[in-house]
Structure 1
Amino acid sequence: MAPVVHGFDWPDRFVVGTIGDPGERTFYLQAKAGREVVSVALEKQQSAQLAAGIDHILDELRAQDGNPYHVPADMPEELRDDEPLDGPVLEQFRVGTMTLGWDPSTSQIVIEAMPITTIDDEDEDGLDEEPEPDELLVVRIPVGSARAFALRTREVVAAGRPLCPLCGSPMSPDRPHECRLPDDQP
């Protein structure tokens, strides 16, 4: 059976946001067009990698002779979105795999998010094949919106618990942090 595709071409809003306190936050990727809102849960690291991947694609395109796609170096200020997630946040699925691409025909970044899939132990025929997801989120955004998305995502990721300057692990305000320096440090 074909997967249910939650498709957003030129969405009204596309953001990463969180619910919860630092150290206990749940990250969401949320797309909105009109009254339709789809929220999928993802990991903090997935959010950071998505922002980095978008910036990498845009920087590569910008470096092309003549910047043929008119990729901005920075985020256009009018596209900044600091608002919280649209509520109520109803998790459609938890993201397992994401793909990121560029569509030159529309000058858009294309993000696909697929749910975590499990392989049925009884299905021995398809051991080498990835199971087809039941659902798929596909979002297409123009370059300015992509810059704004990446900036917001980096800020959301950075707003978590502070990192220990010695070991780099997150520090919690409600319990003491004990770290060990690497063996080669005094």
Structure 2
Amino acid sequence: MARVIHVFRQPDRFIAGTVGQPGDRTFYLQASENARTVSVALEKQQVSVLAERIGSLLDEINRRFGADVPETVTDGEVDTDPLDVPVEEEFRVGTMGLGWDAESRAVVIELLAVTETEVDEAVVLDDTEEGPDAVRVFLTPSEARAFAERADRVVNAGRKPCPLCGEPLDPAGHVCPRQNGYRRTDEDGPAAAADDV
């Protein structure tokens, strides 16, 4: 079957979002242009890495090419609307590609479907017939910065971290390795200081 590449050269939206409650969220990237919307599922860590790498790429583009790259974005520039529904997963992301198209002066993000075999790097950001299905999105530097800002917010909107071990806290409680697995409840009162143990 021929490879399908969904290309969004001037997307109306490209956002990270989630479905579900903190601790049980599914992460999506969603691209929309005109009446077409494509959603792909991925891991929280992939969203975080993509946002970080976009920030690094924008800094490099500014340094090497002198492109007009905003260092920050205002709240008004960040799309805070939820994902468009229904969210229909096109595929789960395995490999991600990131680049700069000097001709169109755009950041190019490519998301490739998970495959059972290792992905040849030659198919990333390429139109070859062979390879996994993909979503390719072109963003202006300011759109890319706004995407990265929203992605960071989505990643950090989950469960609060434990102040002792940094692991996510569950609403039902938390087995903290720093307290030898002791699960504190509201009835226990303030936690004992480390010196008291």
Structure 1, unaligned runs of 5 or more: 120-126
Choose which of 93, 99, 102 in structure 2 pairs with 1:101.
Answer: 99
Choose which of 66, 69, 72 in structure 2 pairs with 1:68.
Answer: 66
User: Which residue identity is paired with 1:71?
Assistant: V
User: Which residue identity is paired with 1:38?
Assistant: V
User: Which residue identity is paired with 1:62?
Assistant: N
What pairs with 1:32-43 in structure 2 (closer than 5 Å)? 32-43=32-43
Number of aligned positions between the proteins? 175
User: Which residue identity is paired with 1:136?
Assistant: A
Structure-1 residue corresponding to 2:127: none
> Does the CA-based 8 Å contact 1:75-1:148 persist in structure 2?
yes
1:141 to partner: Cα distance: 0.5
Most deviating of 71-80 and 27-36: 71-80
Structure-1 residue corresponding to 2:81: 83
Structure-2 residue corresponding to 1:156: 154
For residues 134 and 152 of structure 1, the distance between their equivalents in structure 2, rounded to whole angstroms, comes to 27
> Does the CA-based 8 Å contact 2:30-2:38 persist in structure 1?
yes
For residues 10 and 76 of structure 2, the distance between their equivalents in structure 1, rounded to whole angstroms, comes to 16
For residues 81 and 75 of structure 1, the distance between their equivalents in structure 2, rounded to whole angstroms, comes to 11
Identity, % of aligned positions: 47
For residues 88 and 152 of structure 1, the distance between their equivalents in structure 2, rounded to whole angstroms, comes to 20
For residues 76 and 10 of structure 2, the distance between their equivalents in structure 1, rounded to whole angstroms, comes to 16
Q: Which runs of 4+ in 1 moved over 4 A?
A: 127-132
1:117 to partner: Cα distance: 0.3
- TM-score, normalised with respect to structure 1: 0.85
Structure-2 residue corresponding to 1:180: 178
Structure-1 residue corresponding to 2:188: none
1:177 to partner: Cα distance: 3.1
Which structure has the greater CA radius of gyration? 2
Q: CA RMSD in A?
A: 2.4
Structure-2 residue corresponding to 1:13: 13
Residues 1:76 and 1:175: Cα distance change in structure 2 (over 3 Å): closer
Most deviating of 9-18 and 69-78: 69-78
User: Which residue identity is paired with 1:86?
Assistant: D
For residues 76 and 2 of structure 1, the distance between their equivalents in structure 2, rounded to whole angstroms, comes to 42
Structure-1 residue corresponding to 2:141: 143
SS of the residue aligned with 1:39?
strand
Residues 1:129 and 1:72: Cα distance change in structure 2 (over 3 Å): closer
Matched, 1:30 2:21: no
For residues 35 and 172 of structure 2, the distance between their equivalents in structure 1, rounded to whole angstroms, comes to 40
1:106 to partner: Cα distance: 1.1
1:77 to partner: Cα distance: 4.6
